[in-house]
């Protein structure tokens, strides 16, 4: 009998980014991360995802930390492990499109401060919105061979999302010059046997490594990973057990044990993983005690599969309806979401499209008339400001939203003038900037960054006055 060919599975660890973003609203601090880095660096992960996504905003807004400083500290600690970030294409880490010069500069600075792999996605899977970021990584790669551009495709369901669509898109991604492909199943919609077909289609379309990313929200994630790996997936995203399951990823230790003794054996040391899990366990318990980790996000939410709506979006809807005193309309809103999504060209439901579709569905139900009131963000979508959806918009709804305004059909960023110099010369940046990177923090989140800059300055003044006091005490006049 022929010996089985070994193909060790690679693991990307998400505990320092997506896991705590999914379970405790991105509130893990840099100080909580640093003591365990040395151990995590010995594991032999393919990469550790530790930056991007919501971590940038949350660091500035809630933790009063400089996200760039966090990245540099993580880079100092991880001597042997690649660091990965999540990047929203032309939106970078914000919610609007930025000019190409800002996107390029953000990519350069991310890699210069320690990122190796930039995972780039677009809420419409409009590849035009990813090209600038991919090109920017390729440019840096000439000087820094470790720089890696991964394109993440937001997984969703609908008539247009056929296996041919995925195969064709994989081919286009390879032609763009990306280094790998990730399937980003943010809602936990990918079921095991569909995963087999999907991975095979991606492999038929390109020779790039395939990474799988899913959330446990609907309860099928581990089985989906098993079938994906058997079908040829090269890398999976997992989270250390205290921050796994629920709306996070499958547990790292469980997946390592699953493939032990098979051709996909990861070779990772369970004893070392157990020590790392023991470090994070008290954080989990503390988060549960304080209410930061809500038990609602820890169970299985089968509505995700039934309504094809991400878990985070469901909780948003509940709070919007609660605020309006209309919780009895929940079912109606759930049924309205697929209709709005269809009107908007069937986009994947991921930030920011999930919030836009969800809010519009709530309005349609509460107003008792569809599109009586149309949000500013909905108008942006229907005018083409976010890019091209896989299916055309509903023309009647589009007309109602934007009237006779000519919709954008080119790549939206083609219409944005360079912005970097304008931000550099902004009075706030001139007054408060301490490093080149501050201009990017300000470009993405002007208000939040300004508050943070003022806070940082106040802290520095306190330190300086303490220093003066201690010097005066040491040398009395």
Q: How high is the mean pLDDT of the chain?
A: 94
Can you tell me the distance from the alpha carbon of 164 to that of 161, in angstroms, rounded to the nearest whole number?
8
Is residue 69 left, alpha or beta, with left meaning phi > 0 and alpha meaning psi from -120 to 50?
A: alpha
Residue 154: beta bridge partners?
Answer: 184
What is residue 46's predicted lDDT score, i.e. its pLDDT? 98
Mean pLDDT of 25-42: 97
Report the length, in residues, of the chain.
477
| CA–CA–CA angle 258, 263, 3 (5° rounding) | 145
What is residue 301's predicted lDDT score, i.e. its pLDDT? 84
Question: Over 70: is that where the pLDDT of 308 sits?
Answer: yes
Mean pLDDT of 142-153: 97
CA distances from 396 to 21, 79, 392, 406 (A): 38, 56, 12, 14
What is residue 475's predicted lDDT score, i.e. its pLDDT? 42
DSSP 60: I
* Three-class DSSP category at 119: strand
Mean pLDDT of 181-210: 97
Question: Over 80: is that where the pLDDT of 3 sits?
Answer: no
Mean pLDDT of 168-193: 97
Residue of higher predicted confidence among 317 and 27 = 27
What is residue 297's predicted lDDT score, i.e. its pLDDT? 82
**Helix H or strand E segment including 224:** helix 221-231
pTM of the entire predicted model: 0.94
What is residue 473's predicted lDDT score, i.e. its pLDDT? 54
- In the chain, where the domains are located: 10-295, 309-409
Question: Over 90: is that where the pLDDT of 365 sits?
Answer: yes
**Helix H or strand E segment including 318:** helix 311-323
Question: Over 70: is that where the pLDDT of 306 sits?
Answer: yes
Can you tell me the distance from the alpha carbon of 276 to that of 285, in angstroms, rounded to the nearest whole number?
15
What is residue 314's predicted lDDT score, i.e. its pLDDT? 75
- Split at pLDDT 50, 70, 90, the class of 84 is very high
Question: Over 70: is that where the pLDDT of 45 sits?
Answer: yes
CATH hierarchy code of domain 10-295? 3.20.20.70
Q: Is 157 exposed, middle or buried (0-12, 13-18, 19+ CB in 10 A)?
A: middle
What is residue 1's predicted lDDT score, i.e. its pLDDT? 44
**Cα 435 from chain centre:** 25
Query: How many C-beta neighbours within 10 Å does residue 449 have?
Result: 24
Dump pLDDT digits (tens) for 315-346.
778 778 888 999 899 999 989 999 999 999 99
CA distances from 254 to 224, 250, 351, 456 (A): 14, 8, 29, 42
What is residue 476's predicted lDDT score, i.e. its pLDDT? 42
CA distances from 457 to 127, 313, 450, 470 (A): 41, 37, 11, 20
Question: Over 50: is that where the pLDDT of 207 sits?
Answer: yes
What is residue 477's predicted lDDT score, i.e. its pLDDT? 36
Mean pLDDT of 116-124: 97
Question: Over 90: is that where the pLDDT of 307 sits?
Answer: no
Considering the domain delimited by 309-409, tell me its CATH architecture: Orthogonal Bundle (1.10)
Question: Over 60: is that where the pLDDT of 121 sits?
Answer: yes
Q: Please name the residue that has the structure tokens 């660890």.
A: 13
- By the 8 A CB rule, do 397 and 382 touch? yes
């Amino acid at each position: 009998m022929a010996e089985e060919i070994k193909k060790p599975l690679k693991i990307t660890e998400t505990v320092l980014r997506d896991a705590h973003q999914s379970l405790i609203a991105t509130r893990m601090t840099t100080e909580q991360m640093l003591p365990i880095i040395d151990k995590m660096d010995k594991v032999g992960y393919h990469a550790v995802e530790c930056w991007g996504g919501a971590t940038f905003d949350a660091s500035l807004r809630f933790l009063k930390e400089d996200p760039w400083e966090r990245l540099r500290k993580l880079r100092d600690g991880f001597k042997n492990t690649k660091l990965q970030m999540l990047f929203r294409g032309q939106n970078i880490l914000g919610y609007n499109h930025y000019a190409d010069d800002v996107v390029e500069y953000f990519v350069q600075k991310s890699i210069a401060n320690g990122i190796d792999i930039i995972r780039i996605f677009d809420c419409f899977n409009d590849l035009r919105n990813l090209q600038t970021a991919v090109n920017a990584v390729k440019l840096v790669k000439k000087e820094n061979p470790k720089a890696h551009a991964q394109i993440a495709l937001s997984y969703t369901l609908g008539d247009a999302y056929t296996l041919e669509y995925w195969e064709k898109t994989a081919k286009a991604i390879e032609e763009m010059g990306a280094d790998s492909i990730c399937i980003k199943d943010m809602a936990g919609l990918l079921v095991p046997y569909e995963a087999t077909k999907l991975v095979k289609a991606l492999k038929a379309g390109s020779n790039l490594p395939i990474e799988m990313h899913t959330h446990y929200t609907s309860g099928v994630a581990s089985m989906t990973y098993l079938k994906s790996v058997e079908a040829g997936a090269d890398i999976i995203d997992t989270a250390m057990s205290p921050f796994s399951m629920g709306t996070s990823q499958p547990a790292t230790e469980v997946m390592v044990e699953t493939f032990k003794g098979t051709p996909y054996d990861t070779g990772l040391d369970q004893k070392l993983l157990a020590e790392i899990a023991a470090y994070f366990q008290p954080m989990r318990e503390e988060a549960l005690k304080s209410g930061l980790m809500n038990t609602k996000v820890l169970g299985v939410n089968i509505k995700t599969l039934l309504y094809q709506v991400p878990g985070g979006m469901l909780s948003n809807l509940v709070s919007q309806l609660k605020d309006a005193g209309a919780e009895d309309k929940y079912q109606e809103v759930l049924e309205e979401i697929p209709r709005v999504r269809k009107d908007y060209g069937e986009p994947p439901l991921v930030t920011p499209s999930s919030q836009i579709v969800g809010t519009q569905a709530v309005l349609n139900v509460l107003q008792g008339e569809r599109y009586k009131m149309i949000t500013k963000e909905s108008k942006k979508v229907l005018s083409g400001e976010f890019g091209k959806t896989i299916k055309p918009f509903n023309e009647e709804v589009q007309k109602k939203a934007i009237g006779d305004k000519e919709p954008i059909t080119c790549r939206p960023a083609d219409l944005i003038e360079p912005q970097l110099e304008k931000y550099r010369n902004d009075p706030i940046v001139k007054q408060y900037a301490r490093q080149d990177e501050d201009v990017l923090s300000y470009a993405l989140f002007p208000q939040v960054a300004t508050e943070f800059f003022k806070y940082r300055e106040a802290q520095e003044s306190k330190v300086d006055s303490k220093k003066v006091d201690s010097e005066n005490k040491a040398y009395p006049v």
